[in-house]
Chains A and B, each alone.
Chain A
């Protein structure tokens, strides 16, 4: 039988505020010792009161807008009650029936078209601490307690492991683009649980689903879902039913393990958080938050294809990261030639420099105007293409303008026939064997001759001219 795969994703997104959601402790504990970014509020001491961080609301509104979700004029916080050692208050402050935003969607690539993935829920909440198993001990670190989270749950709209991966890739890109989360899955800044079920193709009902937890990379989400689809297919083929298990992904063995079910099924006894007042998102506040709302990556990708006649491949890569796409656009404006040429230089050379240095495009000493200048120098024949590439590096290191470097180091291309001719005659004189071989028909040696000449002239010769002179001299 053919089955349709039904996937919904529940994501937890750590907002990159400086301080926690309800207290002033630092959020970034990546290199901090355990239990050092803590205070009476986030460790649940008696008699303390939470005070909401305004940037958390603002970043939540940015995400809501980017997800086409409706930010609500009034929202409330609620208590979600459960006992666990890394939750010192015995409840998590979350949102329930009146969250910050409702609805929304994201379009993702699917086959040749796009799939619209609906958003069911988007709410603000506080993160819990960390329970670690070390040397047979269970140890609790409260540094993460109170780090702001957005929980976002999709409708069961995804139809394959690849689509789930595409959703996460687009979400991560979006979170970084609007600057609300660093979204590094390996650091737990973006976490994902996947709900997976199968049904006969064409059916409209939903079968019981399993929930996959503890996947901390996009590749792991894809692998875990694919394994689970296979398992469920085998179960149905064998005439068995699927039970609503919670499964844990084991990265080391690449397998799913059944987790012990919670002792009683979730009974969180939500009620309004009495220590917090409602959040009123006034029109003025919302307008101020959205004042500098950026063009989003998908809009920009489509615009790049339309406005600059870029191939889809180029536009996709150039909009993968905001700083890179800003860089591209600034360089195109400074260059005033064919945008595809700028794209080629970026994709081939500048991106390699970025990968090697770990910088973002905006951090390069090679500013967009300098890249444009280098391409112009090559176009106009002042320098040859390989010198142009050298200039990229030299500009990055020295911060001098490309023209200054060309002038200071004498890099301008030598188009002077007599200089090239003299060097070519020298090459031929020093290599009589090769010259004789060429004359008897080994014309494949031409590249070698030009290479020898370039070495003599420090790479500055005009290559087509050198080739013409060799052809004449070796005729």
Chain B
């Protein structure tokens, strides 16, 4: 199982990584080796094993719906590279100021 250079570029793009040509070549080999290693699992006969989504039997712990104070704004904004009017100030995302389509 070998990744193509295009696949490596796509993965790098999704992770917002700017790779050099040499890095792309190196990571293509490394990522392919990882996939080959994990692919050994495909050889196991799992016909008699039900699909397993979680290996824990425990259920998610739950929290009562009671609000409590968290961080102050100043504590939060200590992590901001730039701030303005109590908010994180950021550069335009797509260059043209178009809002994101994400929800």
CB contact under 8 A between A276 and B60, given known A33-B86, A55-B65: yes
Chain B residues, CB < 8 A from A142: 76, 88
Majority SS of interface residues in chain B? loop
SS class, residues of chain A in contact with chain B = loop
Interface 9-mer from A11-19, A300-308, A316-324 = A11-19
B43 within 8 A of A: no
| Stretch of A46-54, A159-167, A172-180, A340-348 on the interface side | A46-54
Question: When the two chains form their complex, are residues A260 and B63 in contact, meaning their CB atoms are under 8 A apart?
Answer: no
| B64 contacts A139, C-beta separation under 8 Å | no
User: A453 contacts the other chain (Cβ, under 8 Å)?
Assistant: no
Q: Are the CB atoms of B71 and A277 closer together than 8 Å? A: no
A179 to B31 CA separation, bound complex (whole angstroms): 50
Known A-B contacts A140-B87, A278-B59; the reply to A36 vs B73 at CB < 8 A is: yes
**Contact yes or no, B65 A53, CB < 8 A:** yes
- List B contacts of A140 (CB < 8 A): 87-90
A34 CB-CB contact with B under 8 Å = yes
Q: Please name the residue on chain B nearest to A281 by beta carbon.
A: B59
Q: Would you list which residues of chain B between 54 and 103 have a CB under 8 Å from chain A? A: 54, 56, 58-68, 70-73, 76-77, 84-94, 96-103
- Tell yes or no: A89 within 8 A of B by CB: no
Query: Which of A79-87, A220-228, A354-362, A374-382 touches B?
Result: A79-87
Chain A 47-65: CB-based contact to B (< 8 A → 1; otherwise 0): 0000111111100000000
A465 at the interface (CB under 8 A from B): no
Across the interface, do B59 and A141 meet the contact criterion of CB distance under 8 Å?
no
Q: Do B66 and A52 touch (CB < 8 A)?
A: no
Whole-angstrom distance between the alpha carbons of A214 and B98 in the complex? Answer: 13
In Å, the complex CA distance between A139 and B62 comes to 33
Question: Please, which residues of chain B bring their CB within 8 A of the CB of A311?
Answer: none
The answer to whether the Cβ of B14 comes within 8 Å of any Cβ in the partner chain is: yes
Q: Would you call A139 and B102 a contact (CB within 8 A)?
A: no
Contact A272 B54 (CB under 8 A): yes
- Docked complex: A19-40 residues within 8 A CB-CB of B: 19, 23-27, 33-40
**Does B100 lie within 8 Å of A84, measured CB to CB?**
yes
Contact assessment for A260 and B60 in the assembled complex, using a CB-CB cutoff below 8 Å: no
**Chain B residue nearest to A193 in the complex (CB):** B103
> Does A128 sit at the interface, judged by CB under 8 A?
yes
> For window 119-163 of chain A, which residues contact chain B by CB distance below 8 Å?
128, 131-134, 137-142
In the assembled complex, the CB of B88 is this many whole angstroms from the nearest CB of chain A, namely: 4
CB-CB < 8 A to B77: which residues of A? 35
A19 and B67: CB pair below 8 A? Answer: yes
A288 contacts B by Cβ under 8 Å? no
Of A53, A139, A259, A264, the most chain B CB neighbours within 10 A belong to A139
User: Would you call A262 an interface residue if the criterion is a C-beta within 8 Å of the partner chain's C-beta atoms?
Assistant: yes
Given A35-B87, A139-B84, A141-B87, the answer on whether A51 and B54 have CB atoms closer than 8 Å is no
Q: Decide: A35 and B86 in contact? CB cutoff 8 A.
A: yes
Taken together as a complex, chains A and B put the C-alpha atoms of A54 and B93 apart, in Å, by 36
Beta-carbon nearest neighbor of A276 in chain B: B60
Q: A260-B94, A277-B56 are in contact. Are A38 and B88 (CB under 8 A)?
A: no
Binary flags per residue of A75-107, CB closer than 8 Å to B gives 1, else 0: 010000111110100000000001000000000
Q: Is the pair B53, A272 in contact by a Cβ cutoff of 8 Å? A: yes
> Are A138 and B101 within 8 A (Cβ)?
no
Contact B60 A277 (CB under 8 A): yes
Q: Check A277/B58 contact, CB under 8 A, given A33-B86, A39-B70.
A: yes
Is there a chain A Cβ closer than 8 Å to B16's Cβ? Answer: yes
Q: What's the Cα separation between A389 and B24 when bound, in Å?
A: 81
Q: Which chain B positions have C-beta within 8 A of A83?
A: 16
Whether the pair A18, B65 counts as a contact (CB closer than 8 A) is yes
Return chain B residues, CB-CB under 8 Å to A246: 101
Q: How far is the CA of A277 from the CA of B86 in the complex (A)?
A: 35
A413 within 8 A of B: no
Closest 8 A/B residue pairs (Cβ): A39-B70, A55-B65, A139-B87, A140-B88, A54-B62, A277-B60, A24-B68, A280-B59
**A-B contacts, 28 listed (Cβ < 8 Å):** A18-B65, A18-B66, A19-B66, A19-B68, A24-B68, A24-B70, A27-B67, A34-B87, A35-B76, A51-B61, A57-B62, A87-B102, A128-B102, A131-B99, A133-B97, A138-B89, A139-B84, A139-B88, A139-B89, A140-B88, A142-B88, A191-B103, A260-B94, A260-B101, A264-B13, A277-B54, A278-B59, A278-B60
